[in-house]
Chain A
Amino acid sequence: MKDKRIEERIQHSLNAELSGLRTTSYQRDQFFENATGGYKVKKKISVVAILVAALMLFTVTALAVVLLSPKEIVEQVAVPTAQSNEQENYTYEDLQNLLQTLNENGITLDEGSTLMQAFKAGHGYWERDTIDEICRTAFGRNQGIWTLEQKHWYGEMMKAIGAWGINIWLLPEGEEISLSEARALAVKTLKDAYGAELPAESNEDWEVYETFELAWQPETDSYPRENAQWTVWFSRRNGGSLSYDVTFDRFGQNAVPWRASFLEHINTKDLGTVMDDLEEREGTCTQWSLETWAEFGNLISDMEIKSQNGWLYQHAGYCLPPEGAISAEEALEIARKETGASGWIGENIICCIGNDRPIYKICQRVFLDGKQKGGRYDHVWCLEIDCMTGEVLDVREYTYTPDSNPMMMYVPFSLLSGVPSFEKEPDSVNSERRILTQVEKESAYQTEHGAASIYFLPLEKQAELFGGFHTVPSREEYDKALATAKKAIASRYGADALETLGDYQTGVMHQENSSGETGEPQHVWDFMFTTDPTYLSDGYRVQFRYPVNEKSGEETVLDLTVEHANLGNG
């Protein structure tokens, strides 16, 4: 389900940031003409409280010989000052007093911080962000790794100044599991799920941290304690890309393990995804090394290609320069001399096969406006140089137009003229729509949004219509999955949830594909329990998958989500 806090924060930030970026009516007219061919609640505080705050300020100043901790300064100076005004920001004088108190107690804020820059320029600063800066200076820049106590205390301070309505960062109470229990449970869950051997506390290889926080409940639009959730992270140090996390409820139930690493989907992806993965790892393709291009070539060599660009990439013969070849640097120098391009130039070099011989494919992208930052390449030289002799085989100059084909920068010229035509592969929207159109014709169930509810088609029919990963599971597999789904609903909504629902029907979609973690086969299930298969206006939806554990060989339930059936339904 959608995290309302994140949504609000992102929408608020991006909308504010982009508020000045708007199309004009003239631009919109142009779009049309060209397209159609002819296109923050401050808490009120009593006068007494203000006097108390002022007294505390006086006391702090008077007793400055006793060093205060950052927490004490926040509690005794920053928060009372914030509470004593009706603004959301400290005045320059407020900030001056606060910084002086910090300095007198041996605490120095980062001179390069936005706060300090604002202060040096004679401005005040946001109260919330000032307290945040003090806390990050004291506890660490990464708020995620703060202790539960630090997080909880921080939340209380935010509440005190009116920045937060509630404190979502909790400390476990009563029957709720403790920090040590949470960590132990996380370690066990990840061992069971992935065979991972992880420490319960941070060590030289792994950083372990956690939150225990309130989660939003969409039904009531509130953050009830019953929804409190633990998340324990394990992040590999020293630049490793591997990370794990586990979430579970306040009693340690409903654990959901997760593992993330680069190239996690390498076994099951298409060309676009392979490029995305490599770009994520190596930067944009103009920054790739010869080795990365060669790796790319290998990764796509046996791939089923469905587009002209895909065909070009697959047939370019990306490789490493053969023995005896001139170096890439030498080739680049030859290219520079050949074109005489000067000023700001972006270069990239690829080794591939052109007309049956290894060549360097070099592109020089010239910044016409003469500056790199913010500059654009309007002008490109593409050269092909014999890897062995250094002979310049071909030089072409391109000027940018909206129809420019970028492939001339990435494949040998000799390939460009011989590209076979490909029938346009229906994308998923189209393919799903095609399927639904077929379902409509067969008078299957319709939703109020005009889309058919395919959950209630027989699995055989789904397999026939969808094909691909949609397969018909054995009865044993189905029964096992059904039991898991019902158990999940009982756990989330109560043992009698389904019974209370009444005369419900069970719909399901099933896929059998490869696990992103292990590459081993997995069953992916999406169950719908509702009395209203037409509009899905009631009931529950349960999704999960069963990958095969790479060590134990056993199946483990992963990515389990349970929600009301009508969520996200149009």
Chain B
Amino acid sequence: MKRIRLWAPALLLMSPSLLALALFVYGFIGWNLRVSVTSWRGLLPKYDFVGLRNYAALMSDARFMQFDVPHIAIFTLVFVGGTLALGFCMALLLDKKLAGDALFRSVYLFPMSLSLIVTGIIWRWLLDNGNDASTTGLNKLLESAGLESLRSDWFRSDSAWAIAAIALPAGWSLSGYVMSLFLAGLRSVPEELREAARVDGANETRVFWHVIRPMLVPVLMSAIVILAHISLKTFDLFYAMDAKNIKIDTPALYMWFTTFDGGFYARGAAIATLLLLGVALVIVPYIAYTVREERRR
């Protein structure tokens, strides 16, 4: 009785949120899973059972297997790798106090406050692929810098790697975030620890390698996990860049168009389930690790 009186108000306070999340997150995930094993097509819901037929169909679906999956793999590789490298370098450059460092930090971080629709609209024009007299955007800039050899058709290139061009706006938007993560990590290394290593005769490179690097591993893990899951689920940036360009088609876009334009609800639900699986694969271990670390402290 006493226990009930102790815990009841707490549970009561949380119950609206818990109920809402139970329904809108877990209930909806289950519901989506259910839709993915039906043959629902068109506006009227249909809850029959066709087993894994939609998943099997996706495995032999050219758009999914030959475009979307390779695209998202290439994009994730280039975007995560590039953003990590850039963000990390910016953090290293800004680690030691410097007059005006706050200004640099703000400049590198501000693109993240813009919506990805805005980012996409700006970059679609910057990555325009006009030729000769109609050359514009980055190509024009490269041309006037004498770097014509670098000009490219970007996301309209005739190459499987065209989608890698979208890593430019995506990295522009998020490398400041990675910088902030690494800066917080660098600043959490106690100065005494660095000083002790220096007293022992270590030069700055060795201080970095033996003292700082090991403490940055958890930050690196968080950054990779966060960027990878963003890469898998991002929709609006691609949509604003060039919604119906097959060269930058991804599972997230395919899901949208096939479901809400085409009415292939069952197929859309199957793509969504696969996306969720991909994200869960990186996120669940990450949450488990974070919660366990916190309990140990």
Q: Do A and B bind each other?
A: no
